[in-house]
């Protein structure tokens, strides 16, 4: 699915759907609508991951690394899994609707949670916007701290993270984004025309941030949907991909693991498209697509 939604179409739809009492500019109206659509659809997919035990499996990758920085929270299942295993969590999330859902879920399960709202959306024209983020100060103590921020382009957030006590772990799991993301001027659509490229660019930045905020011996885990690494050659390709991402850092890619993944067929679920690597040949029109898994790659800070 492209993150650069058809701008003219979106603008017309926004104009048609805005009520007379709605004061939001078109670009910000679209941003809010697509953010809501994202959490509604991802809520269906994430329930499928929950039913398959994926969140417990993901949190298990971080056993023994209690202070965790999480990149993105979705509807909160991954955050809750970490808290249940004894972690304290600082989570960075761009979508305020995801933050609200995670806050409710965490609080309902008896954990203390605090939210730092720091976003100010600004309309640039009918289709383009930018997000301005305030400085972070007066941070409350909580089991879980949810911070409005951008894992791709948020210098104030990165500076704040670097000033905090070092983290034991960074979790970058199942990254996704809403369809208005491509209208953010911080996103270079020439380099990131689809969700796949966007995900890779965010992961690249997460590697660099992790290198600066992890303690010695701390770990970064990146988990994504991918072809099952069932052979030594496929494991090597996966490791080589992450070694390339880590090449500008001191992180050392150490291990690959995977667990079976069945895509949700429930009504409203996002349809995840298989995008093979550039050097991989598949007949995507056939019924013989490769088996998919959730693949975990762990890197260690020396």
- Our CA angle for 88, 200, 174, nearest 5°, is 45
Q: What is the mean pLDDT of residues 154-168?
A: 98
CA–CA gap between residue 217 and residue 298 (Å, rounded) = 12
- At 148, list the tokens: 């409005």
Task: Enumerate the β-bridge partners of residue 68.
Answer: 89, 169
CA–CA gap between residue 58 and residue 74 (Å, rounded) = 14
On average, the pLDDT of the chain sits at: 90
Task: Enumerate the β-bridge partners of residue 56.
Answer: none
- At 242, list the tokens: 């992450």
C-alpha R_g of the chain: 19
Residue 168: the pLDDT is 98
CATH class of 24-280+289-300: alpha beta
- pLDDT tens track for 73-119: 999 999 999 999 999 999 999 999 999 999 999 999 999 999 999 99
Q: What is the DSSP letter of 184?
A: B
Cβ(239)–Cβ(255) below 8 Å: no
φ, ψ for residue 119, nearest 5 deg: -90, 140
Domain boundaries, given as residue ranges, for the chain: 24-280+289-300
Residue 111: the pLDDT is 98
- At 290, list the tokens: 């490769």
Q: How many CB atoms lie within 10 A of CB 256?
A: 17
Residue 29 host element (H or E) = helix 26-51
Task: Output the CA torsion sign for 264, 70, 301, 219.
Answer: negative
- pLDDT tens track for 119-156: 999 999 999 999 999 999 989 999 999 999 999 999 99
């Amino acid at each position: 699915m492209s993150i650069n939604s058809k701008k003219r179409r979106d603008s017309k739809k926004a104009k048609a759907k805005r009520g007379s009492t709605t004061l939001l500019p078109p670009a910000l109206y679209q941003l809010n609508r697509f953010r809501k659509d994202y959490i509604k659809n991802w809520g269906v997919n994430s329930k499928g991951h929950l039913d398959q035990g994926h969140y417990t499996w993901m949190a298990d990758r971080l056993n023994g690394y209690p202070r965790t920085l999480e990149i993105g929270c979705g509807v909160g299942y991954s955050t809750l899994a970490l808290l249940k295993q004894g972690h304290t969590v600082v989570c960075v999330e761009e979508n305020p609707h995801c933050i609200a859902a995670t806050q409710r879920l965490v609080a309902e399960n008896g954990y203390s949670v605090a939210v730092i709202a720091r976003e100010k959306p600004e309309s640039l024209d009918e289709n383009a916007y930018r997000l301005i983020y305030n400085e972070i100060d007066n941070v409350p103590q909580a089991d879980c701290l949810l911070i409005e921020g951008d894992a791709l382009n948020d210098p104030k957030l990165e500076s704040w993270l670097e000033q905090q006590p070092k983290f034991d772990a960074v979790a970058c799991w199942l990254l996704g984004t809403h369809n208005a993301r491509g209208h953010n001027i911080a996103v270079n659509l020439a380099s990131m025309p689809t969700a796949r490229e966007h995900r890779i660019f965010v992961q690249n930045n997460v590697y660099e941030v992790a290198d600066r905020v992890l303690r010695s011996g701390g770990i970064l885990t990146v988990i994504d949907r991918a072809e099952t690494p069932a052979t030594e050659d496929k494991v090597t390709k996966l490791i080589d991909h992450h070694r390339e991402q880590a090449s500008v850092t001191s992180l050392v890619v150490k291990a690959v693991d995977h667990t079976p993944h069945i895509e949700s067929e429930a009504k409203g679920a996002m349809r995840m498209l298989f995008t093979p690597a550039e050097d991989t040949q598949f007949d995507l029109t056939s019924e013989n697509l490769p088996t998919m898994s959730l693949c975990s790659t762990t890197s260690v800070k020396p």
